């Protein structure tokens, strides 16, 4: 497709990639932050391979969910106002936030003065107007995410970061209690409903998963389903079940809870 006035640069500058690789190699508490650009570029598999080789934890935006499997031990969850406890703590403590294909929208960053306060920020994006638009960055790489990751991979050197992972494990443990994972499994809570929905679809074929949809007028109940889903990918929340809610409460919300109680719990 040829769009006049929009000619993206797919191949990143080699010096920019070297600078980004050097920053990642020297970081003691690095953190990958991935967004929808990883999906669009088809870089999900390559990204997961790099994260595993380098043993670097990963957080995502809403659009970045499933670029790395949600059950992967390196994945800490989504960040921001609807994010997980481990993911948000990792952003606050990282010394290098390596961001790929993200917009840094306000729901992810919150108060910019308190966002990643200890970190240098690397931003990889194919659109140069997106870089440093919302958050100042220290190193920018303009280019396609997949092309950039292919060049980045050969320059990375695995480092020992056991203390970083020990800290992350404490957040995971505390976060599981904060998220109600130890509550009465028979209680009708948003967490249990979401987990029950995922349990119902787990093991089904992909076509059936893609038929499942939770649709709302406000959009707010969709986010917890994304946060708590396990093996379901983002595209699974699609077409079949149309449940309209005015918010987390109200008549339609109560109907949703009754349906889930009857069929899921």
Q: Which residues pair with 3 in a beta bridge?
A: 6
What domains appear along the chain, each with residue ranges and CATH number?
14-177 (3.40.50.1220), 190-263 (no CATH)
Residues 6 or more apart from 95 whose CB is under 8 A from it?
A: 27, 28, 29, 30, 118, 119, 120
* The pLDDT value given to residue 195: 65
pLDDT value, residue 121: 98
pTM: 0.75
Residue in the block written with tokens 């320059």: 155
4-18, 79-93, 182-196, 237-251: range with highest mean pLDDT: 79-93
Helix (H) or strand (E) holding 142: strand 139-142
Least confident window among 32-36, 131-135, 255-259: 255-259
The pLDDT of residue 4 is 76
């Amino acid at each position: 497709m040829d769009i006049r006035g929009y000619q993206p640069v797919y191949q990143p500058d080699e010096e920019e990639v070297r600078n980004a690789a050097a920053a990642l190699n020297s970081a003691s508490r690095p953190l990958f932050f991935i967004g929808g650009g990883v999906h669009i570029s088809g870089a999900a598999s390559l990204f997961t391979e790099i994260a595993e080789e380098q043993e670097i934890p990963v957080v995502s935006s809403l659009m970045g969910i499933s670029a790395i499997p949600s059950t992967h031990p390196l994945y800490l969850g989504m960040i921001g106002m609807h994010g997980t406890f481990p993911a948000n703590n990792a952003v606050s403590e990282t010394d290098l936030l390596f961001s790929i294909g993200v917009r840094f929208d306000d729901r992810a960053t919150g108060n910019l003065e308190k966002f990643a306060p200890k970190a240098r920020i690397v931003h990889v994006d194919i659109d140069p107007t997106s870089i440093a638009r919302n958050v100042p960055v220290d190193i920018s790489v303009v280019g396609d995410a997949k092309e950039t990751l292919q060049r980045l991979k050969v320059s990375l050197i695995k480092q020992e970061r056991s203390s970083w992972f020990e800290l992350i494990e404490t957040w995971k443990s505390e976060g599981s209690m904060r998220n109600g994972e130890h509550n009465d499994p028979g209680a009708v809570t948003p967490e249990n409903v979401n987990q029950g929905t995922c349990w119902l679809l787990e093991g089904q074929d992909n076509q059936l998963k893609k038929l499942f949809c939770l649709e709302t007028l406000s959009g707010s109940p969709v986010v917890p389903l994304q946060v708590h889903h396990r093996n379901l990918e983002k595209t699974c929340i699609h077409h079949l079940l149309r449940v309209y809610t005015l918010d987390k409460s109200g008549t339609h919300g109560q109907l949703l809870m009754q349906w889930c109680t009857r069929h899921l719990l």
